[in-house]
A = this chain, B = another copy of it.
């Protein structure tokens, strides 16, 4: 059984502080994943967001719309470097919990064309899984044959990986309890939507405002839009800031969250 976990940038970094990892939360999540993995014996891919290691460098270097000159190339390389440091925080915590995690840098396996996925070669991921490792991917810059470079979010990668590698369970760890009718951080009337299906997806998308953070990849609305194209298995969106929520989700226990089932 293959499980894919997305750890949101908002869960493993302080999104408002430049290149600041939330080491405490990362360590707790690594422990929860290790505990669930010991009981469940599943194959695992972890994809993490870039948080303040990605969105801020992208804005600082002005490369959100493309990479066209040497200065922007240095910005692109600097963003990739910055994201790789966040991966190391994640991998370091996973290794401490005896999870054999191996980073696969997005630009070495996938390409964009005008900000959209053009090619995603999952062979390396498959080979690592087969050999018993836990591949770690992330939101990062990738080459783009129209714009020079663009941003591949973890939210873009997860549905593709799930489809291609036949994942049986996909869990998104975010900093809220799931998908709400409005932004729960700014709107007290926001209500959790426990189940999203083809029946209510239109209404959900309509009501969603874009998250008001430094997220250059579209927040919750972006997540769901990506799922529209690639979702093959139910996706569970769960609060990974609250202790044991992710672990329970991974173990199939009951926990407050949003399930998205579009089949």
Which A residues fall within an 8 A CB radius of B? 67, 70, 73-74, 76-78, 80-81, 84-85, 88, 91-92, 95, 98-105, 107-109, 111, 124, 127-128, 131-133, 143, 148-149
Q: How far is the CB of A105 from chain B (nearest CB, A)?
A: 6
Contact of A95 (CB < 8 Å), options: B78, B124, B148: B78
Q: Are B105 and A77 in contact (CB under 8 A)?
A: no
* Assembly CA distance A101 to B109 (angstroms): 17
**Cβ–Cβ < 8 Å partners of A98 in chain B:** 70, 74
Q: Sorted from nearest, which 10 A-B pairs have the closest CB atoms?
A: A77-B100, A73-B100, A108-B108, A74-B100, A108-B124, A73-B132, A81-B91, A77-B102, A78-B95, A74-B98
How many copies of the shown chain assemble into the complex? Answer: 2
* Assembly CA distance A66 to B251 (angstroms): 33
Q: How far is the CB of A131 from chain B (nearest CB, A)?
A: 6
Residue of B nearest to A87 (CB): B84
* Assembly CA distance A180 to B138 (angstroms): 46
Q: Are A102 and B95 in contact (CB under 8 A)?
A: no
Residue of B nearest to A75 (CB): B100
**Cβ–Cβ < 8 Å partners of A109 in chain B:** 108
* Assembly CA distance A91 to B76 (angstroms): 13
> A88-B85, A103-B84 in contact; A73/B133 too (CB < 8 A)?
yes
Residue of B nearest to A125 (CB): B108
* Assembly CA distance A139 to B98 (angstroms): 23
Q: List 16 A-B contacts (CB under 8 A).
A: A70-B98, A73-B100, A73-B132, A73-B133, A74-B98, A76-B133, A77-B133, A78-B95, A81-B88, A81-B92, A81-B101, A84-B84, A85-B88, A102-B107, A108-B124, A131-B148
* Assembly CA distance A67 to B102 (angstroms): 15
Residue of B nearest to A144 (CB): B131
Contact of A124 (CB < 8 Å), options: B77, B107, B132, B148: B107
Name which of A81, A104, A109 has the most chain B CB atoms within 10 A of its CB.
A81
* Assembly CA distance A80 to B73 (angstroms): 26
* Assembly CA distance A76 to B128 (angstroms): 12
Residue of B nearest to A131 (CB): B143
Contact of A143 (CB < 8 Å), options: B73, B104, B128, B148: B128
